[in-house]
Structure 1
Amino acid sequence: MAQTSTLCVNEIDVLVPNFKRRLSGVTATIVRLIPLQARVMRVAVVAPAMPPEIPQVPAFALLTMSRHGPSGQRIWHARRNVEMIAGLALRHLLRKRLKLIFTSASQRNHTGLTRWLIRQMDAVVSTSEKTAAYLERPSQVIYHGIDNATFSPPKDRSAVREVLRLPPDGLLIGCYGRIRAQKGTDLFVEAAIALCNRIPSLRAVAVGRAVPKDEAFLAGLIERVRAAGLEDRILFRDEVPVWEMADWYRALDVYIAPQRWEGFGLTPIEAMACGVPVVASDVGAFSELVVEAKTGFVVEPGSASQLEQATAGLLSDPTRLHAFQTAARTHVERHFDIRTEADALIRLYRTQLGHPNA
């Protein structure tokens, strides 16, 4: 068992709370960023559950940590309301010298509490221009990035499929993430049924977990596929660890992101980094991630027929599909590398600490 990388809180300049125990997009972002940031700054996560190799400090250490950090003040980088509240409590009740930063990924009108909390922050980051438009104060737009070494095109797509116990031949589309109505899994299934009826060589796979309240929703999707006689061509697989996801993208010819609502949405970037074009609903940052008619298509939210038509247009033209695959990888390498995100945040931290050129 790997030893947990627990650090002394008094030696830390940047504290990153992650108060949610269950896997989420926020958690995945933090896990990818912190190792890069820790190479150049004293940064650690405060979390109930985190991979052991991630630099971290226990929550109880916050109560007794020194008021001043190694650089005078410390950064507290929150991504949820409860984490902003904790930062304010540390600063005002326990008199810790903290600079408070909040990253907003939400694209909706905020509650009065959230608006008030955001006003108390020293700096705000938005994950897209759309997100920034919902804020009542200026923010710095810093797009999420991914590790383009981990997410990369396959050398042999058929071999990848065999390892994953997927059909090695023919065309394959996929949709990954939590299985629920908000994520549009039903739209993916509806589009996949229509596409399978049009394209004899096509199969589809949905990978993700349904929490207890969504189990009936998943059961209904499985029954819909069974009623269409396509249970051997439209497959459902359980959630897999983050570190195994790259191969699931590499197995695909086209990735579909059918969400009805999304904050940012990393899956299109992950897919494109693996050389897989994307057909996505126009939610989250998807229209800012996908280059229309070059790395994929963005369609109206909630429309299974538009997902179907855009996907069919790619799958029916092998030459065009190959061009999209190449362009997708190039686009992510140029614009969405996680090192770019990490560096931008480091510059923000240093500015807030008063030594931007350090």
Structure 2
Amino acid sequence: MKKVRIGIVGLGRLGKKHAENIAFRIPNAELVAACSIVKEEVEDVQRNWGIKYGYTDFSEMLKNDELDAIFIASSSTEHCRQIEEALKAGYHVFSEKPLGVNMEEVIRAKEIVEQHQDKVFMLGFMRRYDASYAYAKKKIEEGAIGKPFLIRCYGLDPVKAVKGAIAFSEKSGGLFLDMAIHDIDLARWYLGSEAKSVYAVGSCYAYPEFKKYNDADNGAALIQFQNDAIGMFYAGRTCAHGYHIETEIIGTEGSLRIGTVPQKNLVTIFDEKGAVQECVSGFLERFEQAYVAEVQEFVNCILENRKPGVVVDDGVKSTEIAYACKESFEKNKLVFLNE
């Protein structure tokens, strides 16, 4: 079996999970190299997983002619630069979201990707590869709910993770880019339209530390799309019961709901608390299979010489909408896109 030889940069919580998936769960992929600015992280995966090459310098990894593709799971602030360097070095590239942390970077990344059409570029909007979300898309395309005209999205992180969010807030791009961008991508995907106007509100209801970065711990946005469909988005960092990702798509003939109860599994516990369904604890648990499926698609695209369903424009458009939300939130005004 021909295998795609991959080098990964970034070995934090998500990066290490991606590295593990590539190394052990993607049959036609091989994790050949790992890079991190934290030397101990590189040494750990080399020692425990038998990874051949380890680097603390991304540019040095790009000189390795045994690689076919680069997987970018580094800090969001590094994505655009590393995308450009990797494509110019002749590699296929998968990048985690976001595409960039400002619109100048995002537009630059789009230009670079378009200059390298011979290479596969894919962005990590993994929810499209989750079985439930993919099934909902299929039902919409089959006409099961008529014409979709409203989408409601909840994206809530567990409060136990809030310290990490505060630490990351300076470089995250804000609540809407950091958290709501997956929901924004889904809205574009399900509704088949781009945003026309945005109004966003929010505040620091429990954690004033976010104010230092002109950010919020909870926020909401109302978006009207060019086909007049409606998007309602709530993003929060203080969810008491766990990681809650919920999506509802309403159409002229019915509706679909995904994740209304973020249950851990199909077990119900009956005890002195009543009937209890445990909730998933975080994104790695909830989207475990989706993370595998999206990388499998990337590898298949390379081997089959075709483009993936998630392309650079999806990153550009979603980032543009997220920044419109950020501007609306910061300036307390309605923001129109493409004007």
Structure number with larger C-alpha Rg: 1
Same fold, TM exceeding 0.5?
no
Task: Point out the structure with the larger strand share.
Answer: 2
Q: Which has the higher contact order (CA 8 A, sep 6+)?
A: 2
The TM-score normalised by the length of structure 1 is 0.39
